[in-house]
Amino acid sequence: MHFFSYLCTENMTRMKKRLSIIALLSFFFLYMHADTVVLRTGARLKGTILMQNEEVLILRDTEGARFQFPRADVAEITADDAPVAAGTSQNEEEPEIRTAKKVSALLEISGGAALRPNETAGGGVGADLIIGTHHIGNRHIFIGGGLGYHGVFLGAEKYHFLPIQAALRLPLVEAKHAPVFGVALGYGVALGKSYAGGLYAGLDFGYRYRLNSKTAVAVVAFARFQQAKVEVTEVIDNMEFVNKTGRNLITPGIKLALYF
């Protein structure tokens, strides 16, 4: 009986040692044969890539924890199969990590009808360049500010503006193909002498296709509102009076957009 207990104890001890050695070897194998994932924020994680596609990457680090990242947030993946050479200092200064730039630009070309409530209809064109960022957290949300040119033509009347604006473009889902919603708000500076500028606002809704993590194209239906102030001459009792009055110019249409 004592001999049987001794054998069981001895076998359990050997099994624990073997399991410890296997775990230790597995840890060293994982560490020495790991991949290094470099994020666009500059962060580096070492581990084993369990799965990746054009949308997501799943990594298990050297301690067994799992991390999931949008594939667009991964700047680089490097294989690290070479063991550390004997005698190499473990306290060597790490190379400088440069944070990837997140500055982006949005170029929009637009055209459509032009309306003045209860009056003449015409046409309108525009071009806008907005500088900002296309990454907010883990989302491809664009926010920025810029300027452009908008022309409104109502019969013989012509209005030209330089819109100074803040803009937001929000994809409703985080995917390569996504509906996108946008708003803009600012002030349209008049480029003519016969009228003054005023409040500018825009509303967008359309479809955006992401070519890669930095570039996307979109087709968008929009509606723009621009306020203009003009001088109107009135004759009352053979006397002329000059009054300034506001005119609300509304331009619905289609725009093409490029994120880069």
pLDDT tens readout for residues 235-252: 666 666 666 677 889 999
Domain with CATH 2.40.160.20 in the chain: 103-259
Instruction: Choose between 41 and 184: higher pLDDT.
Output: 184
Residue 147 pLDDT > 80: yes
Domain with CATH 2.30.30.100 in the chain: 2-80
Q: What is the mean pLDDT of the chain?
A: 79
Q: How do residues 106-125 score in pLDDT, each as one tens digit? A: 999 999 999 877 777 899 99
Give residue 112's identity as a one-letter amino acid code. Answer: G
Q: Report the topology of domain 103-259.
A: Porin (2.40.160)
249: Cβ contacts below 8 Å, ≥ 6 apart: 114, 115, 116, 124, 152, 154, 159, 225, 226, 227, 228
Q: Other C-beta atoms within 10 Å of 21: how many?
A: 10
pLDDT grade for 91, boundaries at 50, 70 and 90 = very low
For the segment 169-186, the average pLDDT, to the nearest whole number, is: 93
Q: What integer pLDDT is reported at residue 92 of this predicted model?
A: 40
Tokens 């033509």 — which residue?
A: 153
- The CATH number of 2-80 is 2.30.30.100
Q: What integer pLDDT is reported at residue 140 of this predicted model?
A: 82
Q: What integer pLDDT is reported at residue 20 of this predicted model?
A: 59
Instruction: Choose between 73 and 201: higher pLDDT.
Output: 201
Output the CA–CA distances (angstroms, integers) from residue 81 to 29, 69, 171, in the order listed: 9, 23, 39
Phi-psi region of 237 (alpha: psi -120 to 50; beta: other; left: phi over 0): left
Q: What integer pLDDT is reported at residue 164 of this predicted model?
A: 97
Q: What integer pLDDT is reported at residue 18 of this predicted model?
A: 61
Q: What integer pLDDT is reported at residue 7 of this predicted model?
A: 42
Q: What integer pLDDT is reported at residue 249 of this predicted model?
A: 92
